[in-house]
Amino acid sequence: MNKTINQKAWFFVIPVFVLVAFNAIIPLMTVVNYAFQETFGNNVFMWEGTRWFKQIMLSERFHASLGRQFLFTFIILFIQIPLGIAIALTMPKDGIGVPICLVLMSMPLLIPWNVVGAMWNIFALPDIGFLGHSLNALGFDYNFTQQIGDAWFTTILMDVWHWTSLVVLLSYAGLQSIQPAYYQAAEIDGASRWAVFTKIELPKMKKVLTIAILLRFMDSFMIYTEPFVLTGGGPGNATAFLSIDLVKMALGQFDLGPAAAMSLIYFFIVLLVCWVFYTLMMRNEGNQ
Amino acid sequence: MSLELKNVEKKIGLDTHIYPTNLKLEKNTINILLGSTLSGKTTLMQIMAGLDKPTNGEIWFNEKNVTGMKVQKRNVSMVYQQFINYPNFTVYENIASPLKITGVSSDEVKQRVGKVAELLKLSAMLNKKPNELSGGQQQRTALARALVKDSDLILLDEPLANLDFKLREELREELPKLFEDRDCIVVYATTEPSEALLLGGNTATLLEGKVIQYGKTLNVYNKPNSLVSAQVFSDPPMNITKIKKSGERCSFLDNSVNWKTKINIKDGEYKVGIRPHNITTYKEGNNSLEIKGKVLISELSGSESLIHFTRGNLNWVSLSNGVFQKNVGDEMNLYMNADEFIYFDENERLVISG
């Protein structure tokens, strides 16, 4: 076969290249730029090498916020994934109930993040909020602005309220794609409800659940707006997750160098965890 | 052993899925439910299995009323059009799964799975998971699951429909052997008349939720009780035309085709069904009628030629052995074998066949 050599083909690649450069590479490179240098403004930069990275990696403050971040993400995954599957299983499979449930389920997802934060802030205020006031009226000493446990409780509750729907919708889609013949076959075999769940539904939902866990991991790991509006990272630093801490460092203290280094480390952690998780899930997939 | 449907009817809302049906299936028979999609085959099977309850009527098994009895207690197995296996189980575990609740000892499970696997040529892949197998092997696994327990009733719902041509041919040939010395009733749903003929046994022709005719497969094919039954049992579709009989002369197409007949029926008008393979590009039989046609479409499939043509404002389908390449619009001579005509009266009931 004779191939025509025509370099003009590169012109077709340029638009994509420019687009990706502007929305991903260039912003990232400015961060990289800050991460290796020190600046006192006026566009004067001094080379610092890996100093900021070392400083961040060794800083207790970073360890603390990273720890809080992992704890938060694990707790919400631990609640949202099983809860989402459980709700999806109880949803109707056909009839008028389906659109009603789907619309109800997508409502929390449609609310802007800062509104969710503001909503829950007011909702949970101990003196005037419905939740806060009710809890206190019931005899609980609840005040999320002052007590660490209450702050965590409220933040987690808010995230569960906001995002469980996503897991529900994905699981529901997975469940709906299972052909009725599978359930009949199980019925003929006399399989129990639990066996139907573990032997048919879970394996068939595996792909959507992988996506659900990945999405929920990434989103919760990068959570900013909602806890920022709800607790502002407080009381103290109790709910200062990675991104809140990062913004404090970058814009509050104007430590651009360490903040840039921290962003990059943050970025690589997300990337690494997603990659490990995805590879593990897909490797199992290949075995089947 | 017998399975009997007594006035079984199925309605969902205002839609009738199955009109009142009486059917008696005897032991050691293959019973084919033949009909197009939505003719009620699957619904009927699910009622037979006990997966679905009839709105009215009763199901009797071995002279016992089993209407409403749960499917687990009925000792049935079912194979579906889709390849239904447990995705996380190996082929071995899949085949063994129906035996789990029967309390069969593990030695016997091993032995029975081994036997069925050999029968279905799965012995080499017992440790694989279903999605590592080809479609044909997945369906073999599903078949093995149905055969491993000694079911009284085995239901197969278009089991070959999702397989590609070669695998379908291969499995189709094996199927009758699989059921040969089994003490059970086999029900097999299909949309393809050729499949029914190949499997033999009994056939029930279905249309829009009604069983039109039930009997020995060849009998139903050769002596359809009605035009509808003949149409269900004909692929490519049957040619239908009106003929006039007076005395010994029969004619159709405004007397442009006529012949001397020996059949003994009243004079008058009849509807005649002519199977496509009885219209050929060559003479066949002693009573061959020549008609001229204009080619609409000509399809070649392997060693057969399917020629659609028009004549007298009617569209006809002919099926000839051999390859005949025709162009659209060609005028050509075709021959009908008048001995194979099937005559129906004005109510489309059978008058005489062949």
B184 CB near a chain A CB, below 8 Å?
A: no
Length of chain A: 288
Amino acid A130: pLDDT: 93
CB contact under 8 Å between B129 and A287, yes or no, is yes
- Chain A hits for B72, CB-CB cut-off 8 Å, are 187-190
Give the residue from A96, A184, A188 with the most B CB atoms within 10 Å of its CB, the best one to mutate. A188
What count of other Cβ atoms lies within 10 Å of the Cβ of residue A178? 16
Shortest distance between the Cα of A200 and any Cα of chain B, in A, equals 6
| B51 vs B64: CA distance, rounded Å | 18
pLDDT of residue A177: 92
Bigger pLDDT: A6 vs B51:
B51
Q: A92 to chain B, minimum CA–CA distance in Å? A: 18
Mean pLDDT of chain A: 89
Contact A199 B88 (CB under 8 A): yes
Residue type, B221: Y
Q: Tell me: the pLDDT tens digits for A175-216?
A: 999 998 999 989 888 888 999 999 999 999 988 999 899 999
List, in order of start, the domains of chain B with CATH numbers.
2-225 (3.40.50.300), 239-353 (2.40.50.140)
Could you read off the pLDDT of A155-185 as tens digits, one per residue? 999 999 999 999 999 999 999 999 989 999 8
Arithmetic mean of pLDDT, A251-258: 84
pTM to 2 decimal places: 0.79
Helix ranges (H only) for chain B are 41-49, 91-96, 106-119, 135-148, 165-179, 193-199, 217-222, 227-232
Contact between B273 and B279 under an 8 Å Cβ cutoff? The reply is no
For residue B183, which of B27, B60, B72, B63 has the smallest C-alpha distance? Answer: B27
Question: A196 vs chain B: nearest CA distance in angstroms?
Answer: 10
Note the pLDDT of residue A197. Answer: 93
Average pLDDT (A69-78) is 95
Q: What is the pLDDT of residues A261-275, one digit of tens each?
A: 999 999 999 999 989
Point out the residues of chain B with pLDDT beneath 70.
354
d(CA A198, CA B331): 65
The whole-number average pLDDT for the span A119-128 is: 91
Work out the minimum CA distance from A164 to partner chain B, whole angstroms. Answer: 27
Q: Which pLDDT does position A284 carry in this prediction?
A: 63
Contact A241, A265 (CB under 8 A): no
Rounded Cα distance, B153 and A162, in Å: 51
Which residues, in sequence order, are CB contacts of A148 under 8 Å at separation 6+?
A235, A236, A238
CA distance B38 to B22: 19
Task: Yes or no: say if B295 and B329 are a contact pair by the CB < 8 Å rule.
Answer: yes
In this prediction, residue A288 has a pLDDT band, given cuts at 50, 70 and 90, of very low
Q: Does the structure show a pLDDT above 50 at A287?
A: no
Average pLDDT over residues A244-254: 87
If one counts every other C-beta atom within 10 angstroms of the C-beta of residue B352, the result is 13
Calculated CA dihedral for residues B308, B309, B313, B315, nearest 10 degrees: -20
Measured N-to-C along each axis, helices A60-90 and A256-287 cross at an angle, to the nearest 10 degrees, of 40
* Domains present along chain A, CATH in parentheses: 60-287 (1.10.3720.10)
CB B195 within 8 A of CB B163: no
The DSSP string of B19-58 is EEEEEEEETTEEEEEE--TTSSHHHHHHHHHTSS--SEEE
The answer to whether A288 contacts B87, with C-beta atoms less than 8 Å apart, is yes
Q: Judge contact between A52 and A257, C-beta under 8 A.
A: yes
| pLDDT level of residue A285 (50, 70, 90 thresholds) | low
Distance CA A237, CA A232 (A): 9
Q: What is the bridge-based pairing of β-strands B342-344 and B2-12?
A: unpaired
Question: Which pLDDT score, from 0 to 100, does residue B156 have?
Answer: 92
Instruction: Classify each residue of A132-150 as buried b or exposed e, where b means 16 or more C-beta atoms within 10 Å of its C-beta.
Output: bbebeeeeeebbbbebeeb
Q: What percent of chain B has pLDDT over 90?
A: 13
Q: Are strands B185-190 and B153-157 parallel, antiparallel or unpaired?
A: parallel
Q: ipTM of the predicted structure? A: 0.80
* Interface residue B162 vs chain A (CB under 8 A): no
Closest CA to B62 of B184, B211, B164: B184
Kindly determine whether residue B78 and residue A189, on different chains, have CB atoms separated by under 8 Å: no
Q: What is the pLDDT of residue B262?
A: 78
